[in-house]
Structure 1
Amino acid sequence: MARIVFDLDGTLIDSAPDIHALMNEVLAALGGGEITLAQTREFIGNGVDVFVRRTRTALGLPDAFHAAMVAQFRAGYDDAVSLTTIYPGVVEGLEVLHGAGHRLAICTNKPEAPCRAVLAHLDLARFFDVVIGGDTLAQSKPDPAPLRAALEALGEGPAIFVGDSEVDAATAKAAETPFALFTEGYRKSPVEEIRSDASFDDFARLPDIVNACAVQVIS
């Protein structure tokens, strides 16, 4: 059986509406303007600190705002779940993979506490034996350490990382792990410019991709 590690935001769930609403609450409290949902999707991917920096840059806010924005955003992040949705086919795909005996994990740059909160809210936590958040280790993606930690915790066997972005692709490459790209998430580049071993827009295809990658690794 394979070890399958998933990114979270933009791969399994569309959390951008909650992140967008929370950031605009933070900005309103500071009198700093607003960002759009499209900007939110563009800024997601490298953790809270980078998300805040990208937001400040877009709005021309000073460095002095940074610490307060990060703190206020983190304070509300655990509760930012009401607008988040699961991508179509995800639950069915996870049920097939889990039911087949594959071991599943999360490796995300979202902090671990809000990651676990949204997984519980959406009833997805039951599928995952391991959760590695952006603050679980000292390193975060695209450093390979979080992905390697997730894979090590899952035990032995063929491995694949499933994500939606350039950050995920770089993480998989650094960890020397096959990568499957979900094309409907928060990527910033054309699909053909992102290094992957397979790409898909429908989670019904993922079990076949996992099996193909596992066979390739074993052979």
Structure 2
Amino acid sequence: MTTKPGIIFDIDGTLCDSNYQHAFAWYQAFRQHDVQLPIWELHRHIGMGGDQFVAAVAGDRVEEEIGDEVRTAHDVIYLTMIQSVGIFDGARGLLEDLKGDGFRVVLASSAKQREVDHYLDLLDGRDLADDWTTSDDVEQTKPEPDLVLAAKEKLGEGDAVMVGDTPWDVEAARRSDVPTIAVLTGGFSEAELRDAGAVAVFRSIAELRERGTQLFLLD
């Protein structure tokens, strides 16, 4: 009998349609501090955690001088838009399918508890996930492996599979020895996700769900 791996789901951009709200929140946060960056460039780094984000898009000097202030502004602005975030078609259904077929599921986020609670409400997911992470569970965010390692620890013993939407998800999982199934809902191309190491790429969570839960066995 094949042992079923635990499934680690990224939340932002994978289960919940939030990447572009985050990109705009970063845009506004930088503008508040007189740093002008194009939204397309900010989007290219969505999926990277806030502790990594500022230096990656604006350089070490901006990080050193105003990094914390920009992160705080982003968080405040994003919360003003969080009500516009929805869940992707098939997201709760896929969680239900996995639960029904005996898979363990952990929802992985480095967001603060307030945001994660909102996502859990949107997904009505507390009864479907075995556990979830928040910013309290990690020291460094993606592409560092901390988040995936924290999720693996919550899953317990056994193999794991990651589901994500950005190259940063894939890299963090790869550094944790976890294969990633990716979806295009984060706005990155199939080629980018495969180049990062994704073992399979689907257009959406709904398309992934149509393939059935046996796909997660990665035979």
Same-fold status (TM-score > 0.5): yes
- Contact kept in structure 2, 1:140 and 1:146, CA below 8 Å: yes
- Contact kept in structure 2, 1:163 and 1:182, CA below 8 Å: yes
Structure 1 residues 22 and 145, CA gap change in structure 2 (3 angstroms): closer
TM-fit CA distance, 1:196: 2.1
TM-fit CA distance, 1:66: 2.8
RMSD: 3.1
Is 2:10 aligned against 1:7? yes
- Contact kept in structure 2, 1:12 and 1:86, CA below 8 Å: yes
CA distance in 1, matches of 2:35, 2:212: 45
Structure 1 residues 89 and 212, CA gap change in structure 2 (3 angstroms): closer
- Contact kept in structure 2, 1:104 and 1:154, CA below 8 Å: yes
Structure 1 residues 210 and 179, CA gap change in structure 2 (3 angstroms): farther
Residues 162-196 of structure 1 deviation map (CA, whole Å, 9 limit, x = unaligned): 11122222222222222211123243653442312
Aligned residues: 212
SS at match of 1:128: coil
User: In structure 2, what is the equivalent of residue 72 of structure 1?
Assistant: 73
Unaligned runs of 5+ in 1: none
SS at match of 2:84: coil
Structure 1 residues 174 and 94, CA gap change in structure 2 (3 angstroms): same
Structure 1 residues 154 and 14, CA gap change in structure 2 (3 angstroms): same
Residues 147-173 of structure 1 deviation map (CA, whole Å, 9 limit, x = unaligned): 122122123344211111222222222
Among the aligned pairs, what percent are the same residue?
24
TM-score, length-normalised on structure 1? 0.77
User: In structure 2, what is the equivalent of residue 131 of structure 1?
Assistant: 132
Is 2:91 aligned against 1:90? yes
Structure 1 residues 112 and 21, CA gap change in structure 2 (3 angstroms): same
Q: Which moved more, 1:125-134 or 1:160-169?
A: 125-134
